[in-house]
Structure 1
Amino acid sequence: MSSPSNAPASSKPTSRPGAKRRRSPLPRIVVALVVVAALAAAGWYWTQRGAADQAGAFRTTEVERGNIRVAISATGTLSAISTIVVGSQISGQVTDVLVDFNSEVKQGDVLARIDPSTYEAQIEQGNAQVAAARASQAQAQATLRNAELDYRRKADLGTRQLVAQADIDQARAAFEQAQAQVNSTQAQIRQQSASLQTTQVNLDRTVIRSPVDGVVLTRTIEPGQTVAASLQAPELFTIAEDLSKMKIELAVDEADIGQIRPGQTVTFSADAFSDRQFRGVVDQVRLAATTTNNVVTYPVVVSVDNADGTLLPGLTVNAEIEVSNREGVLKVSNAALRYKPVGDTAIAPAAGGRGGAGMSEEFERIASTLDLNPEQRAAFDAAVAEQRQRSEAARQSMGQQQRGAAAGGGGPPPGAMVMRAGGGGDANLQAQIRQRMLERMQQNFADFTRTLDEGQRQRWNAALASSLSATRATLYRLVDGRREPVQVRIGASDGSSTEVIGNLSEGDVIITGERAAR
């Protein structure tokens, strides 16, 4: 019997001595690629998640392009441009009233009559006094002629020593007295004539006439009423000279009065015509301020065309004065202007501006209001091009200074000022910087301004000064989840949105606040 260990070896597979198995590298490459792709996907996911989390930490709004209309609201009262109060300069009883409320009158028309009896009697008395004075004058002249003849006779006899000198002197005195009496009677005649003329004037005043063409607004007398004009002229009628042209006196708050200028458009409504809107123009800003309960207001006079006669004197109106109407401008929500990150610091150019391109846009806007001729336009384009080159050179120089300061670990480069996110440095320093900028701009545009007439030059200088002294603020733009400060110039605001001018584009995302951490 044989043992199992002695089984034949032919039952197991055999191989050649020294032979090796070859495996393909493809599976390992596939595995490596899958691992790399997974790691990249994970990195991208965490990067995007971090950016999304950072972007989601802010409340934002977009820069929009649209219109901004700024208007100031005020209330006032309609009245005629010229209102005449007709009174009486004399006293007496009213006998006739010939007009009523709303009566149309012409200049010289009789409105009322006062009893003339008293003045007619005074006229008769005056005539009698003048006649008596003239009779006295005739008597005095007769006495004068007699005294003159007596004096001449005695003077002639005196030359022949036939009359005493005392008689001659007495005759001469009588002659001079007669001459004085004649002069006295002449003065009495002039006095009585003047008194008679005064009485005649008062008699004419018993007829009350209209001084202008217009409409009777009020009448305060009735026939039989007695008028007493001892201290001041009583008011009998009020006449509106022309109701086709009217005015509104608006009470504008002192905080808004600085924005009001003659020529601005006014829209208003009246409760009596609630379905209509009327228009007017600011005619005058008066300096006579009124203080009521510590509130200071200034009267603003608005002229209104009332050719159709719809508007009535005395109506209370609610008006809006359009102080600015900006069309097609970049604007942003006011919340973006209020956002100030805590502890953030931004470096703003000392010029406080928006760079060469932004200033070029501002120059174009100012020039568009000047009605330039081709020669002036060519001079303006040349000045703007030169200004743009200067600005570009200044930016390059500042960029080199910033890189040098960053390499050296120093502070801000020369020519820049550090501003907190919420404000802007020393006021005196900023005023000096703006003044230097204005002087430099005036020098750069000197060739252009020499081509302007006086009116254009004044408007250009005023607009340029206004642009450089305008309020500026720092907005924070959200770029790839990061906060980027952008300095802009503040323009018109309607209370919810504000015009911004600077290195911004329509659609830019601006931060308005930060969300609470979860």
Structure 2
Amino acid sequence: MSTQTISARPLVSGLSGEKSASRIKRSWKKVLSRRKPIMIGITGFVILGMAAFYFWGNQTSSTQYMTARVERGNLRNTVTATGTLQAVTTVQVGSQASGTISALFVDFNSVVHKGQIVAQLDPAVPKAQVDQARANLQLANAGLQQARATVTNSRAGVSDAQARGLAAKSTVQNNQAGVSGAQANLAVLKAQQDDAMSYLKQEDSLLRSGVIGQRDYDIAQTAYRTAEARYNQAAAQLSQAQLSEQSASGAGIAQSQAQVEQSQAQVQQSQAQVGQAQAQVLQAQAALKLAEVNLAHTTISSPIDGIVVSRAVDVGQTVAASLSAPTLFTIANDLTQMQVIANIDQADIGLVEQAKSVKFSVDAFPGKDFDGKIQQMRLNPTNVQNVVTYNVVIDVGNPEQKLKPGMTANLTITIDERNNVLKVPNAALRFTPQDATGQKTGSGTGNANGQGRRRTADNANGADNSSSPQNGEGRFAPSTAPVLAGQMRAVWVLGADG
């Protein structure tokens, strides 16, 4: 490198041009003294760059392989899903009566037994209704007794009317006897009159003959007139007796019969009043029972044995049960036996029917698996945004009561399982090698489309399964489908030619 003199103004005022030139020459000498280390560094960077280019350039142009060890182990075909833990039996305790909560006897996590009182509503209004219903029942019973007394009086009136009818009949019979007596007396007096007439005629002939005197004839005539008067009197009595008989047999009997019928009508009316009074008594009894039931509904009892999961009311809160029964408590029957309601996709529901075991975990106990058993597969589908799922009920034992209602369970349902088998990564089953031109090879002996060879399994006779569709293709499972019984999986391997 040549050195040239640079003519320029002094960098610092007060220096001459020769001093400046000498200073520049010394600077160049220092730079030239450091030239060797700089050149060595540049040369090293160039060599490293060439080596990297050579290495990475060959790598990008060649095929890269990921290798994995073929091992023995256990394989499982599983379906994963999520579900919610809940008690087998959960009862929502409500109130059928309206009122104000006057007392609470249980709280959250309280253990209760069937029939135990858990809450009490204010019973003042239902008690008043019960007292009113009892008073109405007593009033109805009094009305029934009065109606029965009226029936008794009406029956007595019937008996009296019947007695009067009998008396009227007896009077008619007496009058008939009087008529018969009058008729008999009239017949006797008629005979006496006839005898007096015959005797008078005999005396008249004797008087004319001069056998008897006038006095004897007058006596016979007086006797005849007396007999005639008696006969006429008897005839009048007979007429009177006949009139009495006709009057008694007509008006008396008819009047007594009318009285009997009237009394019988009064009896029927009284019996109807008795029936009405009995109906009022039954109505009052039903009203009393209803009032007592409403009073009993103010006492809230537990319907099952269990534990209180939730409480929705406080003392002094008003409960309105006009339209629907409000929920006061939620009671779980037995938390040692729980169940998981899992949502299984419709694509997996057919596999779940063949499930062998169920395990799940919860976030509260990471790393711990719980066992379950499928108890029911419900046929009612659930469609949410065109995603169809089915509910599967899984029974779970919870003897330690670690699991709580409402926890989210992460389910793993084992469909099939094989133990101590050769395992190959799924990526190897989906791998398609490339030839020297970079095109992917396929099955067969190779063609213009870049397809190459695939090594397949042989059957027991030594024939190549790939040569016969009847013997080979049906025995190999597709790369995206599970291996079924009697099928094999074709695996790509590297040959001797690489």
User: What TM-score do you get using the length of structure 1 for normalisation?
Assistant: 0.56
Structure with the higher strand share, 1 or 2:
1
Contact 1:491–1:500 under 8 Å retained in 2: no
Query: Any residues of structure 2 matched to 1:304-315 within 5 Å, and which?
Result: 304-315=396-407
1:244 lines up with 2:251 in the alignment: no
Deviations 1:198-252 (CA, angstroms, capped at 9, x unpaired):
1101111111011111110111111111110001100000001000011111111
Instruction: Give the Cα–Cα distance (whole angstroms) in 2 for the partners of residues 126 and 216 of structure 1.
Output: 36
Q: Are 1:475 and 1:487, in contact at CA under 8 Å, matched by a contact in 2?
A: no
- 1:82: which partner in 2? 89
Equivalent residue, structure 1, for 2:456:
476
Cα RMSD between the aligned structures?
3.8
Q: How does 1:65-464 map to 2 (within 5 A)?
A: 66-159=73-166, 160-161=168-169, 162-163=252-253, 164=255, 165-261=257-353, 264-328=356-420, 336=429
8 Å Cα contact 1:77/1:317 also seen in 2: yes
Q: Is the 8 A contact 1:333 1:496 kept in 2?
A: no
Cα deviation 1:11-61 (Å, max 9, x = unaligned): xxxxxxxxxxxxxxxxxxxxxxxxxxxxxxxxxxxxxxxxxxxxx9x9999
Question: Which whole-Å deviations, capped at 9, do the CAs of 1:180-215 have from their partners, x for residues lacking one?
Answer: 111111111111011101110111111101111111
CA contact (8 A) 1:488 1:501 kept: no
- Distance of 1:511 and 1:260 partners within structure 2: 29
Give the letter aligned to residue 237 of structure 1. F
Q: 2: distance between equivalents of 1:281 and 1:96? A: 42
Measure the CA separation in 1 of the matches of 2:276 and 2:476: 85
**Partner Cα distance (1:128, 1:318) in 2:** 64
Name the SS of the counterpart of 1:288 in structure 2.
strand
- Aligned partners of 1:226 and 1:59: how far apart in 2? 72
Greater percentage in helix:
2
Say which SS state the counterpart of residue 141 (structure 2) adopts: helix
Q: What one-letter code is carried by the residue in structure 2 that aligns with 1:252?
A: I
Would the aligned equivalents of 2:355 and 2:416 in 1 still touch at CA under 8 Å?
Answer: no
Q: 1:510 to 1:138 in 2, by over 3 A?
A: closer
Residue 156 (structure 1) shift: 3.6
SS in 2 for 1:143: helix
Matched residues in 2 for 1:66 and 1:497: separation?
Answer: 17
* Cα distance, 1:270 vs structure 2: 0.8
- Is the contact between residue 59 and residue 514 of structure 1 (CA under 8 Å) also seen in structure 2? no
Q: Any unmatched runs of 5+ in structure 1?
A: 1-55, 346-473
Aligned AA (1:144): V
Return the offset for 1:78: 0.8
Question: Paired residues, what number?
Answer: 326
SS at match of 2:294: helix
SS across alignment from 1:274? coil
Q: Distance in 1 between matches of 2:67 and 2:482?
A: 14
Partner of 1:501: 486
Runs of 4+ in 1 over 4 A off after TM superposition: 58-66, 328-345, 482-485, 487-493
Task: Give the gaps of 5 or more residues in structure 2.
Answer: 1-62, 170-251, 433-439, 446-453
Query: Given residue 476 of structure 1, which amino acid in structure 2 is its aligned partner?
Result: T
The letter for the 2-side match of 1:150 is: G
Residue 476 to residue 500, structure 1, CA distance change in 2 (3 Å) = farther
TM-aligned CA deviation for residue 92 of structure 1: 0.7
Displacement after TM superposition at 1:278 (Å): 1.2
Q: 1:75 to 1:492 in 2, by over 3 A?
A: farther
**Residues 65 and 329 of structure 1 are in contact (CA less than 8 Å); yes or no, is this contact kept in structure 2?**
yes
Q: Measure, in 2, the Cα distance between the counterparts of 1:321 and 1:196.
A: 59
Q: Secondary structure of the residue that 2:379 maps to in structure 1?
A: coil
Alpha-carbon shift at residue 290 of structure 1 (Å): 1.1
Structure 2 letter corresponding to 1:118: V
The letter of the residue matching 2:486 is I
Counterpart of 2:247 in structure 1 is none
Q: Percent identity?
A: 40
Deviation at 1:145, TM superposition (A): 0.6
- Deviation string, structure 1 residues 80-117 (Cα, Å, up to 9, x no partner): 11100000001011100111111111111111000111
Post-superposition offset of 1:338: 8.7
> Kindly tell me: are residues 214 and 166 of structure 1, through their superposed partners in 2, closer, same or farther at Cα, counting changes over 3 Å?
same
Q: For 2:133 and 2:331, locate their aligned partners in 1 and report how far apart those are by CA, in whole Å.
A: 36
CA distance in 1, matches of 2:78, 2:138: 74
CA distance in 2, matches of 1:299, 1:112: 35
Deviations 1:316-365 (A, max 9, x none): 121101111123457766565897986859xxxxxxxxxxxxxxxxxxxx
Q: How does 1:7-46 map to 2 (within 5 A)?
A: none
1 CA distance for matches of 2:125 and 2:85? 42
Distance apart, 1:65 and its partner CA? 6.3
Q: Quote the Cα distance in structure 1 between the aligned partners of 2:95 and 2:342.
A: 32
Q: CA deviation at 1:158?
A: 2.6
Which residue is equivalent to 2:22? Answer: none
Structure 1 residues 349-394: Cα deviation after superposition (integer angstroms, max 9, x where no partner): xxxxxxxxxxxxxxxxxxxxxxxxxxxxxxxxxxxxxxxxxxxxxx
Q: 1:344 to 1:263 in 2, by over 3 A?
A: closer
How far the C-alpha of 1:275 sits from its partner, in A, is: 3.0
Distance 1:209 1:182, change over 3 A: same
Cα distance in structure 1, aligned partners of 2:354 and 2:396: 13
Tell me, yes or no, if structure 1 residue 512 matches structure 2 residue 492: yes
* 1:167 Cα deviation after fit: 2.3
2:361 partner amino acid: S
Structure-1 separation of matches of 2:69 and 2:458: 10
Amino acid in structure 2 at the alignment position of 1:167:
Q
Report the CA distance between 1:169 and its aligned residue: 1.8
Distance 2:261 2:153 in 1: 16
Larger Rg: 2
